[in-house]
Structure 1
Amino acid sequence: MRRSRRASREPEVDPFYDMLFNMLIAFVFCFIVALLAMNPQKTKAGDVPAKAEYIVTLSWPDNDPNDLDAWVQGPNGDVVWFRQREAGLLHLDRDDRGVSNDTIVVDGRRIVNPINQEVVTLRGIAPGEYVVNVHYYDGSKNQRTEPGAGGPVAATVSVVKVNPRAEVVFHGTQTLAGPGTEVTMVRFTVQADGGATNINTMPKALVKRI
């Protein structure tokens, strides 16, 4: 009976194998730590590259069918607009054409994005004066048939300094009377340290010079 009970028991694990298994776990752990040490994650504020220094946003009422365009001139005289989406450090990230590009068809259903907004970013510090204008584009015949097309539109422009923290440099609204209207929303000067000064709304035409 004693022999049968001893034979039915599972064989004991050799301590040598336990030691090998523990050594393997330790080796894997040390390897992972070494990898992390060679490729440290950059968590400091200055280590993460910024995508923009300034963000200029043009918006007008939701569902408005009209097309407003942002025109931004940099210190070197180059202008960003819908046919010139990059000029130096200035980039037109979004061109909104009112009702023209706000509608898509999915599974036979018409889906409308009501938000009207254009975004221009300054992706670096280039000292000098910047001019932000809004132009009321004379849309296509199809666009003019939409209710409210061709009427006055209230345009709102905000200029936000992004780094090292978000700071509203300018926020204002002007009404554009009709197609062809151009208004200067704001002019400001970026200093070498990234700060903004000389904020004003003195008119300067940009559309006619293109």
Structure 2
Amino acid sequence: MIDEFGLMPQDEPFDPFAVMLFKALQVIAFLFFIALLIIVPEAKDGKIDTKAEFLVTIGWPDKHPDDIDLFVQDPLGNMVWYRRREAGFMVLDRDDRGGANDFIMVNGQKVHSPIRQETVSIRGIVAGEYTVNVYHFIAMGREPVPVSVKVEKLNPVVQVVHYDTLMLERAGVERTAVRFSVDDGGAVTDVNSHEKSLLQTLRNPRRNAG
């Protein structure tokens, strides 16, 4: 009696073609999934693959309002500074203007960063001497500013070539932090701190070539 109201399931006719088509679609979908796994590269979170041979870093006290600038000259006379951020194999990766531009964007809002740091990456080998200078561009107070200077050789392993702290007494002071020489293979052959004004080199390249 229940079947008279159509409440019992009815057996549907068997269609072998439909079954074969469904199985074929399953196989195609499975093969497509496998192909995607092969083609899409594996994600490696947190890995930064940056090609650099040397890294030059200067830093001064957190939240300090003064503007300290980094100058680096290569053996060919190329120079990077805040007005020329790329030259030869060298790149000024960060120009820190003290309290003027130290912020990061978080959810569309500017958040001030306390870190005071400038970096130059050297992304190729040129044999000869490199000069690293620091310049006290703007002073908001009268106290000397301690500036740390670090030069690292990155390949084949990280090696500290030079580390020191200089005191910049007032605006307008330029100091040579380090001069280091490398050979054709990138090995460091000499490190010294003989003074050489890169600002004077910019103004008169022939006057301060030594």
Alignment TM class, shorter chain as reference: 0.7 to 0.9
Shift of 1:72: 0.3
| SS in structure 2 of the partner of residue 209 of structure 1 | helix
| 2:65 alignment partner AA | P
Aligned to 1:28: 29
Contact kept, 8 Å, 2:2 with 2:8, in 1: the verdict is no
- In structure 2, the CA distance between the partners of 1:181 and 1:42, relative to structure 1 (3 Å rule), is same
| SS in structure 2 of the partner of residue 207 of structure 1 | helix
| SS in structure 2 of the partner of residue 52 of structure 1 | coil
- In structure 2, the CA distance between the partners of 1:135 and 1:31, relative to structure 1 (3 Å rule), is same
Aligned to 1:120: 120
Residues 119-138 of structure 1: pairs in structure 2 closer than 5 A:
119-137=119-137
Aligned to 1:154: 146
Shift of 1:122: 1.2
Q: Deviations over 1:74-111 (max 9, x none)?
A: 1101111111111111111111111232379x9xx995
- In structure 2, the CA distance between the partners of 1:128 and 1:10, relative to structure 1 (3 Å rule), is farther
Residues 1-210 of structure 1: pairs in structure 2 closer than 5 A:
8-11=8-11, 14=15, 16-34=17-35, 39=39, 41=41, 50-102=50-102, 112-137=112-137, 139=138, 144=140, 149-210=141-202
| 2: CA distance, partners of 1:165 / 1:21 | 57
| 1: CA distance, partners of 2:18 / 2:134 | 76
Q: Deviations over 1:10-43 (max 9, x none)?
A: 5357554344323223223334544665x57489
| 2:30 alignment partner AA | F
Percent of aligned pairs with the same residue? 43
Which segment is superposed worse, 14-23 or 86-95? Answer: 14-23
Contact kept, 8 Å, 1:132 with 1:184, in 2: the verdict is yes
| 2: CA distance, partners of 1:83 / 1:19 | 70
TM-score when normalising by structure 1? 0.75
| 2: CA distance, partners of 1:86 / 1:51 | 15
Contact kept, 8 Å, 1:136 with 1:181, in 2: the verdict is yes
TM-score when normalising by structure 2? 0.75
Shift of 1:174: 1.4
Contact kept, 8 Å, 2:90 with 2:123, in 1: the verdict is yes
Gaps of 5+ in 1: none
Contact kept, 8 Å, 1:56 with 1:159, in 2: the verdict is yes
Task: Report how many residues are paired.
Answer: 194
| 2:131 alignment partner AA | V
Which segment is superposed worse, 127-136 or 7-16? Answer: 7-16
| 1: CA distance, partners of 2:199 / 2:72 | 10
What is the root-mean-square deviation in Å for CA atoms of aligned residues? 3.4
Q: Deviations over 1:33-58 (max 9, x none)?
A: 44665x57489xxxx96342222111
